[in-house]
Amino acid sequence: MHASPASILTLPDERLRRMAETVTAFDAELQKTFARLDAAMRAGPGGVGVAAPQLGINNRMIVVDCSLARHPCRNHGLLYMTNPVVVKKSSEKVLGREGCLSVPDWVGMVQRAKSVRVQFQDGAGVTHEIESSGFEARVIQHEIDHLDGILFIDRVVSTQELVRRMSRQ
């Protein structure tokens, strides 16, 4: 079963704004869903992450693989994360350019924590905790936002705010 970029929900689909449900069943169906997410991420242009709600699946599941980026990051490689939660964010924030498969042809500058500690369950329900930094931390934060009905465009720093920040540096 392969997902195509066409299977990714795009704005203004209201399902992108829903709070995703906690996953409680770690079974074969969950594995099939991860396979669908992985295929959709790889099919999309520049896709380095995808969240289940982007495929109309109302579960707290994300797939992240920054090794697919134009400038690959080194952190953890392919991650299948169920019920991910950021348990700690660095106080240091970084402004960076983001785009999204669900908001095609748009990019914007978004401020995110430079590093995060994330707790999640794998496909078997085993709990893990990882430290992530740089681009991978940005992608993880972006995908977890999807689980809460938040899109990167909700966090875009306005041009005026960007000019103010740059003049302070």
Residue-by-residue pLDDT tens, the chain, 169 positions: 444 455 999 999 999 999 999 999 999 999 999 999 999 999 978 889 999 999 999 999 999 999 877 776 778 999 999 999 999 999 999 999 999 999 998 999 999 999 999 999 999 999 999 999 999 999 999 999 999 999 999 999 976 665 565 566 6
* pLDDT on residue 162: 57
Query: Shortest CA distance to 59 belongs to which of 147, 118, 145?
Result: 147
Grouping H, G, I as helix, E, B as strand and the rest as coil, residue 45 is coil
CB distance 103 to 61 below 8 Å: no
CATH classification code of 5-168: 3.90.45.10
Q: Which two tokens stand for residue 73?
A: 């990051």
CA dihedral over 69, 74, 75, 78, signed as positive or negative: positive
Catalytic pick among 129, 131, 143, 161: 143
CB distance 91 to 75 below 8 Å: no
* pLDDT on residue 23: 98
CA atoms within 13 A on the CB side of 148: 12
Question: Domain locations in the chain?
Answer: 5-168
CB distance 162 to 155 below 8 Å: no
Strand partners, 1: none
161 is catalytic: no
